[in-house]
Amino acid sequence: MKIYNTLSKKKEEFVPIEEGKVRMYVCGPTVYNLIHIGNARPMIVFDTVRRYMEHKGLEVNYVSNFTDVDDKIIKKAVEEGVDAAVISKRYIEECKKDMEAMNVRPATMHPLATEEIDGMLDMIGKLVEQGYAYKAEDGTVYFRTRNFKGYGKLSHKNLDDLQGGNRSLLVSGEGQKEDGLDFVLWKPKKEGEPYWESPWCNGRPGWHIECSVMSKRYLGDEIDIHAGGEDLVFPHHENEIAQSEAANGKTFARYWMHNAFLNIDNRKMSKSAGNFFTVRDISEKYDLQVLRFFMLSAHYRSPLNFSAELMEAAKNGYERIVTSVGNLNYLAGNAAQGEMSGEEKKLLAEAGNFEAKFDEAMDDDFNTADAIAAIFELVKFANTYGNEKSSAAFLTALKEKIVELSDICGLLVEKKEEGMLDEDIEGLIEERQAARKAKNFARADEIRKELLEKGIILEDTREGVKWKRA
């Protein structure tokens, strides 16, 4: 299994620190609003990485935080006239709902920044003692960037170049710094903000220290994989490396994975441009399995363009797999029982080639685009060789292969019967008949597919449309 390591800028064979086990940290969202589709991409991508590793027999300790103290959270709390904790708690719950709808599995641990303050005070204190950090006049604690010799190794930035462009990085209190490149570990509170006591001042942590401490507590000083969006490479992940390695005296993370940006109609997503979409917005138009399918249709390191046309294509692609699984279930339910024929056994062995293609794609830096292409090949194979004459055993085996590979991608393709009421079924059949009469065959086909996905089989007879449950 090879992973593209942002640190080395090349693909490397993945060798975990501890055989058979993976320690993985993924930066989670700042919870001040509903998550947007840009947040969804790393959630889906790295959930899929985790699933594939578990499929390969690895035990994955997967930690992903919630940043629950931040300027944006405080601003939202002030606007609503409530405590910041009310805002963060609300949107953590909403985020979990969206994650479930996208079939993103809960992390082994979802730590909250506000519950890890003691660990942050300990690490900052250690950095101060070691001379890697210092206290300014107002109580702000800064990290001495130049004291950490490896600074810039992840982002491949030169310190002198950073210094030259430092004017664009100026923030309030800049004059207190020993060096313009030093970054905040702890900052004093402002009026009305949540704060914690510390040896330096009453205040709150800087953003970067939070992840270093949460990763250390739940995964140890050294981890296998640290992941997140490419916008986090600098300064967030670069600063994490500096403070973690300075404090712990060990390599922080062996492999760094970063997903590329998501654009909307070939433009950067922004509220001002009017092209900002939350996951909840998308759920009003599409099953979020379609969003997941769309996210996995490109390699995670490739920029991904979101558009209505591409989402429709993703919907059609996803439904193609769902329909195939539904048909195989229906055929198996009506097929002869007993063992597979010799010819069917040969065909099933041939179907294993698509599974091998899937694994080959995923082993090559988690190429989900090619992995899904392998699933489509398997679907085409199943549609070609699975028919009314096939044995139930053969049809079921084909179905299970499709479901298994789809599940590794987190795609739910076997629809469970939702117990549709007879009158609802009859209503949809009437709508289908009306659509056919109006020559709206596309809608008629949609209804047929919808019913099939819910386990309802239609039969067009001379006496009219008959239906039965699969």
pLDDT in tens, 218-245: 999 999 999 999 999 999 999 999 999 9
pLDDT over 70 percentage in the chain? 96
What's the mean pLDDT in 77-97?
A: 96
Element of type H or E holding 23: strand 21-26
Ramachandran quadrant class, 155 (left: phi over 0; alpha: psi -120 to 50; beta: rest): alpha
Tokens for 415? 């629809």
Cβ atoms 214, 244 nearer than 8 A: no
Q: What is the pLDDT of residues 174-193, one digit of tens each?
A: 678 999 999 999 999 999 89
What's the mean pLDDT in 361-385?
A: 98
β-partners of residue 259 are 229
Going by CATH, does the domain composed of 311-408 fall within 1.20.210.10? no
Greater model confidence, 16 or 448: 16
The dotted CATH code for 14-259 is 3.40.50.620
Question: CB neighbours (10 Å) of residue 105?
Answer: 13
Greater model confidence, 59 or 423: 59
Tokens for 264? 């909307």
Measured between alpha carbons, how far is 451 from 427 in angstroms, rounded to an integer? 11
CA distances 401 to 319, 321, 325, 381, Å, are 17, 12, 10, 12
**Eight-class DSSP state of 233:** I
Phi first, then psi, for residue 185 (nearest 5°) are -105, -35
Q: How many Cα atoms are found within 13 Å in the side-chain-facing hemisphere of 166?
A: 15
Indicate the pairing of strand 141-143 with strand 183-188: antiparallel
Cβ atoms 185, 206 nearer than 8 A: yes
Cβ atoms 221, 206 nearer than 8 A: no
Per mean pLDDT, which range of 115-124, 159-168, 170-179, 433-442 is the poorest? 159-168
- What does the pLDDT read at residue 449? 84
DSSP structure string for 88-120: HHHHHHHHHHHHHHTTPPPPSB--BGGG-HHHH
Q: pTM surpassing 0.75?
A: yes
- What does the pLDDT read at residue 470? 62
- What does the pLDDT read at residue 171? 43
Indicate the pairing of strand 223-229 with strand 253-259: parallel
Indicate the pairing of strand 10-13 with strand 2-5: antiparallel
Burial 116-141 (b: 16+ CB within 10 A, else e): bbebbbebbbebbeeebbbbbeebbb
Question: Which residue reads 């320690």 in tokens?
Answer: 23
Phi first, then psi, for residue 183 (nearest 5°) are -120, 160
Domain ranges of the chain: 14-259, 311-408, 422-469
- What does the pLDDT read at residue 455? 77
Phi first, then psi, for residue 162 (nearest 5°) are -65, -40
Mean pLDDT of the chain: 93
Measured between alpha carbons, how far is 296 from 303 in angstroms, rounded to an integer? 12
Measured between alpha carbons, how far is 141 from 144 in angstroms, rounded to an integer? 10
| Cα torsion 384, 388, 390, 394: sign | positive
Distance from the Cα of residue 108 to its chain's centroid: 14
- What does the pLDDT read at residue 464? 83
Measured between alpha carbons, how far is 454 from 451 in angstroms, rounded to an integer? 5
At residue 414 the predicted structure's pLDDT band, cuts being 50, 70 and 90, is very high
Q: Does position 165 have pLDDT exceeding 50, yes or no?
A: no
Measured between alpha carbons, how far is 414 from 406 in angstroms, rounded to an integer? 10
Q: What is the pLDDT of residues 281-307, one digit of tens each?
A: 999 999 999 999 999 999 999 999 999
Element of type H or E holding 368: helix 368-385
Question: Which residue reads 């035990």 in tokens?
Answer: 59
End-to-end Cα distance, the chain: 40
